[in-house]
A = this chain, B = another copy of it.
Amino acid sequence: MASIGPVTPQQLHFAEPLPLQSGAVLAGYTLVYETYGTLNAERSNAVLVCHALNASHHVAGLDAQGNAGWWDNLVGPGKPLDTDRFFVIGVNNPGSCFGSTGPMHTNPATGEPWGSDFPVVTVEDWVDAQARLLDRLGIAQLAAVLGGSLGGMQALSWSLRHPQRLRHCVAVATAPSLSAQNIAFNEVARRAIVTDPDFHGGHFYRHGVVPARGLRVARMIGHITYLSDDSMEAKFGRQMREAELAYSTQAIEFQIESYLRHQGEKFAGYFDANTYLLITRALDYFDPARGHGGSLSRAFAAATAKFLLVSFTTDWRFAPARAREIVKALVDNQHDVSYAEIAAPHGHDAFLLEDPRYHEVMRAYFGNVAREFA
């Protein structure tokens, strides 16, 4: 399948302050975004793609460094989300570290980088910021909002906060809230970061260091939860790096150790520590039932979109049972919902991979969405 080819990120500045869930306000901010395909004359074929923890606006095509977007296998000409038919928008969320206003940028109040003073942002705040971007792009209603994992939470939140502005909500490998275990893993990762002496209370920029030790550990923990036990076993098992054991507590003995250390190293080289804290916290906080006495069904009463939910059998981070909670809440409200539980071996990561059954579901669904305006 053809790729979109080179894409160029764009940016827009928003002077109007963004009121946040916390009660704080984000003064002027910039959003970086990319678009693929062409907005039709009726402005009815736009699909917003929301990113997860360590992704960005660069959803598809090739950036200036030649890197393919994180969902390039799904989004492009002739692909399940077909850019010959849809106008697709990827946007980097505020608080992230890929161009939109974040903790590494200057806090106008101090003239210094925000650091840990960057306001805590939530899924709802991101959705509101994305809505303003659509205002500026002149898009009153989206054909669909699509996201996986934390991106799926944003898609769900769109259906609740701006129900009239989307016709379809496609939420993949997601959950209606984090479980205690999910929060626990986030908390360990955060503790690893904030207790790294190079964190400097979140103001490490001025010290010319990054809390790389903490970021490495955080990423290693995260990575374990993204893979299934089985796929890790199939890929690494107990494979050793050398034929003979070194009998060392610090040398690498097993290939899985080498892999994890490499992932940690790579991540610490490009990801911002304050962003990691903010984004894991946004995950923790997401809980649309909370404002409705704990009832997810009552929360989804406000929705009017049609829904596609997709989960993966081996995803133990956001297991199918969590997706089914959402499906149940939608059915309770007699909403139009399709649900696919994909037998895939790759754990949570499956949502980013090119599983044929998964992609056929996505292709069929977006094919139907396209028929509404074709």
A interface residues with partner B (beta carbon < 8 Å): 21-24, 116, 119-120, 177-181, 183-185, 187-188, 190-192, 194-197, 213, 216-217, 220-221, 224, 227, 229, 232-233, 235-238, 245, 247-250, 253-254, 256-257, 260-261, 264, 274, 277-278, 280-281, 284-285, 287, 316
List 10 A-B pairs, minimum CB-CB distance, nearest first.
Answer: A22-B247, A249-B277, A195-B213, A180-B232, A120-B247, A180-B236, A188-B220, A180-B256, A187-B257, A181-B229
Q: Please tell me if the beta carbons of A181 and B216 are within 8 angstroms of each other in the complex.
A: no
Q: Please tell me if the beta carbons of A197 and B197 are within 8 angstroms of each other in the complex.
A: yes
Q: Which residues of B contact A116 (CB under 8 A)?
A: 249-250
Q: Which residues of B contact A260 (CB under 8 A)?
A: 184, 187-188
Query: Which one of B227, B248, B254 contacts A183 once the chains associate, using CB atoms below 8 Å?
Result: B254
Cβ-closest chain B residue relative to A221? B188
CA distance A22 to B245 in the complex (A): 8
Q: Please tell me if the beta carbons of A284 and B178 are within 8 angstroms of each other in the complex.
A: no
Interface CB pairs A-B, < 8 A, 20? A22-B245, A22-B247, A120-B247, A179-B237, A180-B233, A180-B254, A180-B256, A181-B224, A183-B238, A184-B260, A187-B254, A187-B260, A188-B217, A191-B220, A217-B217, A221-B221, A249-B280, A253-B284, A253-B285, A254-B284
CA distance A21 to B246 in the complex (A): 11
Q: Which residues of B contact A247 (CB under 8 A)?
A: 21-24, 119-120, 285
Query: Which one of B23, B177, B184, B253 contacts A256 once the chains associate, using CB atoms below 8 Å?
Result: B184
CA distance A36 to B238 in the complex (A): 39
Query: Which one of B224, B236, B264, B281 contacts A185 once the chains associate, using CB atoms below 8 Å?
Result: B224
Residue with the greatest number of chain B CB neighbours at <10 A, chosen from A119, A180, A183, A237: A180
Q: Which residues of B contact A256 (CB under 8 A)?
A: 180, 183-184, 187
CA distance A224 to B236 in the complex (A): 22
Q: Please tell me if the beta carbons of A195 and B180 are within 8 angstroms of each other in the complex.
A: no
CA distance A249 to B120 in the complex (A): 7
Q: Please tell me if the beta carbons of B220 and A249 are within 8 angstroms of each other in the complex.
A: no
Q: Which residues of B contact A178 (CB under 8 A)?
A: 238
Query: Which one of B119, B213, B233, B280 contacts A181 once the chains associate, using CB atoms below 8 Å?
Result: B233
CA distance A191 to B259 in the complex (A): 13
Residue with the greatest number of chain B CB neighbours at <10 A, chosen from A21, A23, A195, A233: A195
Q: Please tell me if the beta carbons of B217 and A184 are within 8 angstroms of each other in the complex.
A: no
Cβ-closest chain B residue relative to A201? B250
**Known pairs A180-B237, A217-B191, A224-B184; A277 contacts B257 (CB<8 A):** no
Residue with the greatest number of chain B CB neighbours at <10 A, chosen from A116, A185, A190, A221: A221
Cβ-closest chain B residue relative to A178? B238
Residue with the greatest number of chain B CB neighbours at <10 A, chosen from A24, A192, A197: A192
- Closest Cβ of chain B: how far from A273's Cβ, in Å? 10
CA distance A197 to B287 in the complex (A): 38
CA distance A32 to B253 in the complex (A): 31
Cβ-closest chain B residue relative to A122? B247
Cβ-closest chain B residue relative to A196? B213
Q: Which residues of B contact A220 (CB under 8 A)?
A: 184, 187-188, 191
Q: Which residues of B contact A264 (CB under 8 A)?
A: 191
Q: Please tell me if the beta carbons of A238 and B21 are within 8 angstroms of each other in the complex.
A: no
CA distance A21 to B245 in the complex (A): 10
**Known pairs A24-B247, A277-B249; A238 contacts B177 (CB<8 A):** yes
**Known pairs A120-B249, A250-B190; A229 contacts B195 (CB<8 A):** no
Q: Which residues of B contact A284 (CB under 8 A)?
A: 253-254
